[in-house]
Structure 1
Amino acid sequence: MTQKVIIFDFDGTIADTVDALVTIANRLAIEFGYVQITPEEFAILRSFTSREIIKYSRISILKIPFLVKKVKSELKDKIPELKAINGIQEALTELKQQGHRLGIITSNSQENVTEFLKINNLDSLFEFVYSGVTIFGKTTIINNVLRQKQIKPQEVIYVGDETRDIEASKKANIQVIAVTWGFNSPEVLAKQKPNFLINHPSELLEVIKN
């Protein structure tokens, strides 16, 4: 079996943070000038691409970096309560045992991710954790990581739960597995044409093997 470098998104892919992030976003709505997310609206937002969500929310582009920073900061207090996605620990452990190299590239903070991994006994599975400060800057981070670690794009698979993960991976010329257990709906993910679309962490093993 060819050994791969498998890079994971964090929020919604490894950690079940979606509800916590919605709660924080609603608390910050007045401060940042967007409408709170009702359960009905959340169902609609799941079927939007990341760019469509920003347009829909009517939040000023200039405010987004400050919002992202505030959300990360507020999420820090919730890290001890957060759980890993059901079945992800077993899949990650198996991939590591098969000799694949695992890493994380996220727009969450390195501190939050490291703390979560430690609490959930996942820290020994990952070779690296990289954090980026921009919403759509993942391609740059992916390219920087590949360059620093001297990894060829054909050796890499990215795993994420949002349309922006698919977009970033395609721009970086790496394969992408979209997962349906996170934020975006299966329908909107499929429209972005990822290399693979999976519904449960156990399917990662089959995709990587083939």
Structure 2
Amino acid sequence: MLYSLVIFDLDGTLADSFAWFRRNLNMTAKRYRFRAVAEDDVEMLRHASTQEILDYLEVRWWKIPLIARHLRQLKTAQAASIPLFPGVATMLGTLAAHDVRLALVSSDTEANAREKLGPSVALFSDFDCSASIFGKAQKFRRVVKRAGVDPNAVIAIGDETRDIEAARTAGIACGAVTWGYAAAKALGDRAPDHMFERIEDIAEAVLARAPAHPPGFVRE
């Protein structure tokens, strides 16, 4: 087994929230006066970093906490309508059955995260949720410390470039999924330790049942 602790991101990694995000983003843009996202913008933004996205949308830094709080409130009202990706529950169950500890790090609230996870919530031993001024790297460090495991036996899995950067800052391995928000090429350009094209690939890599894709791998 390669890893004894897996730290998952939620939206775009375990939960299929992209459609929800698209429905609510432009209403939020109107409310907080930043640039709306046109249909033609979506693919371009999937290749951008978090900072590049904020710059393109012309979001002033002081509005970010207000926007994040508003989106969390919307999710609280609509969390039950955001499904897990097909196969996620099985994958999580496979990892837990092999004594892999599962944790979740998200900017969403823990209550929303628990509702989205449904019955799979019982498989998780730790949650570090809600916004943090120190970002995901600090959350990763807290989870690893609470678990009391060797950082070399920990992997963080997410769908955005910032997830890769945060894992590296925290000194743990990083895995990137290609079915979420960021484009596969944008993720691959940052050379994560693992690239996952299918949900079942996660259990195979964590349990060392199959060779991992080399860093930077992106299937054409």
The alpha-carbon deviation at position 130 of structure 1 amounts to 1.1
Residue aligning to 1:9:
9
The alpha-carbon deviation at position 30 of structure 1 amounts to 1.7
For normalisation by structure 2, the TM-score amounts to: 0.90
Report the Cα distance in structure 1 between the residues aligned to 2:19 and 2:120, rounded to whole angstroms.
21
Equivalenced residues, count:
208
Per-residue Cα deviation, 1:168-209 (whole angstroms, up to 9, x for no partner): 000001001100010000000001111011111100122112
Say whether the 8 Å CA contact 1:163–1:192 is kept in structure 2: yes
Say whether the 8 Å CA contact 1:178–1:198 is kept in structure 2: yes
Structure 1 residues 85 and 171, CA gap change in structure 2 (3 angstroms): same
Report the Cα distance in structure 2 between the residues aligned to 1:117 and 1:62, rounded to whole angstroms.
31
Work out whether 1:144 is the aligned partner of 2:177.
no
Say whether the 8 Å CA contact 1:163–1:184 is kept in structure 2: yes
Task: For 1:25-174, list aligned pairs within 5 A.
Answer: 25-118=25-118, 121-134=119-132, 137-174=135-172
SS at 1:178's partner residue?
strand
The alpha-carbon deviation at position 77 of structure 1 amounts to 1.6
Say whether the 8 Å CA contact 1:136–1:164 is kept in structure 2: no
Per-residue Cα deviation, 1:53-73 (whole angstroms, up to 9, x for no partner): 111111101100110010011
The percentage of counterpart residues that share the same residue type is 27
For normalisation by structure 1, the TM-score amounts to: 0.94
Range with bigger deviation, 75-84 or 127-136: 127-136
Work out whether 1:193 is the aligned partner of 2:191.
yes
The alpha-carbon deviation at position 101 of structure 1 amounts to 0.5
Report the Cα distance in structure 2 between the residues aligned to 1:90 and 1:135, rounded to whole angstroms.
34
Report the Cα distance in structure 1 between the residues aligned to 2:182 and 2:141, rounded to whole angstroms.
24
Deviating 4+ runs (over 4 angstroms): none
The alpha-carbon deviation at position 151 of structure 1 amounts to 2.4
TM-align CA RMSD: 1.4
Report the Cα distance in structure 2 between the residues aligned to 1:59 and 1:177, rounded to whole angstroms.
28
Q: Which runs of 5+ in 1 are unaligned?
A: none
Report the Cα distance in structure 2 between the residues aligned to 1:53 and 1:203, rounded to whole angstroms.
29
The alpha-carbon deviation at position 148 of structure 1 amounts to 2.7
SS at 1:183's partner residue?
coil
Say whether the 8 Å CA contact 2:5–2:100 is kept in structure 1: yes
Per-residue Cα deviation, 1:103-128 (whole angstroms, up to 9, x for no partner): 1001111110012223xx21111111
Report the Cα distance in structure 2 between the residues aligned to 1:106 and 1:92, rounded to whole angstroms.
17
Residue aligning to 2:217:
none
The alpha-carbon deviation at position 3 of structure 1 amounts to 5.3
Structure 1 residues 42 and 136, CA gap change in structure 2 (3 angstroms): farther
The alpha-carbon deviation at position 92 of structure 1 amounts to 0.8
Residue aligning to 1:24:
24
The alpha-carbon deviation at position 138 of structure 1 amounts to 0.3
Alignment-mate amino acid for residue 18 of structure 2? V
Q: Which runs of 5+ in 2 are unaligned?
A: 209-220
The alpha-carbon deviation at position 22 of structure 1 amounts to 2.1
Report the Cα distance in structure 1 between the residues aligned to 2:88 and 2:79, rounded to whole angstroms.
17
SS at 1:171's partner residue?
helix
The alpha-carbon deviation at position 149 of structure 1 amounts to 2.8
Alignment-mate amino acid for residue 74 of structure 2? E
